[in-house]
Amino acid sequence: AQSVTQLDSQVPVFEEAPVELRCNYSSSVSVYLFWYVQYPNQGLQLLLKYLSGSTLVESINGFEAEFNKSQTSFHLRKPSVHISDTAEYFCAVRSSIIQGAQKLVFGQGTRLTINP
């Protein structure tokens, strides 16, 4: 079984400031890791994913996350945020065993609010 803990329920930052959204997970098997973003009244959009290879993964809009196996973490960072980044961010894990149900386990979410 897997579980995900997002350490901050809300993160307010000023525009153009850096931000880090923290995510820790636990699992008895190896996992894939994901960050999804949810804008108000919308579904989930994939922001970035770690499946294998380089532990640092990047998105097209400037976010990055680093998989740290020893600390079982997958923190999300952005060096300079914009008003448009205001949203709810969800960290999720899935077993890397490809047979069987591909179930995503989500954290509780972090609400990122960007202030001008």
Partner 1 sequence: ETGVTQSPTHLIKTRGQQVTLRCSSQSGHNTVSWYQQALGQGPQFIFQYYREEENGRGNFPPRFSGLQFPNYSSELNVNALELDDSALYLCASSLANRNTEAFFGQGTRLTVV
Return the closest-CA partner of residue 108 out of 2, 36, 6, 1: 6
Counting residues that bind partner 1 (by CB under 8 A) gives 28
For residue 82, give both structure tokens.
């914009």
Return the closest-CA partner of residue 88 out of 50, 37, 31, 18: 37
User: Closest distance between partner 1 and the C-beta of residue 17, in Å?
Assistant: 25
53 part of the interface to partner 1, by CB under 8 A: no
Return the closest-CA partner of residue 47 out of 12, 26, 75, 9: 75
Which C-beta is closer to partner 1: that of 15 or that of 86? 86
Contact segment (CB under 8 A) with partner 1 among 11-19, 41-49, 53-61, 73-81 equals 41-49
Which C-beta is closer to partner 1: that of 15 or that of 64? 64
43 part of the interface to partner 1, by CB under 8 A: yes
Tell me the C-alpha distance between 80 and 101, whole Å: 37
Query: Which one-letter amino acid corresponds to residue 59?
Result: S
Three-state secondary structure call for residue 84: helix
100 part of the interface to partner 1, by CB under 8 A: yes
Contact segment (CB under 8 A) with partner 1 among 14-22, 55-63, 65-73, 101-109 equals 101-109
Residues that bind partner 1 (CB under 8 A): 4, 32, 34, 36, 41-46, 49, 51-52, 90, 92, 96, 98-109
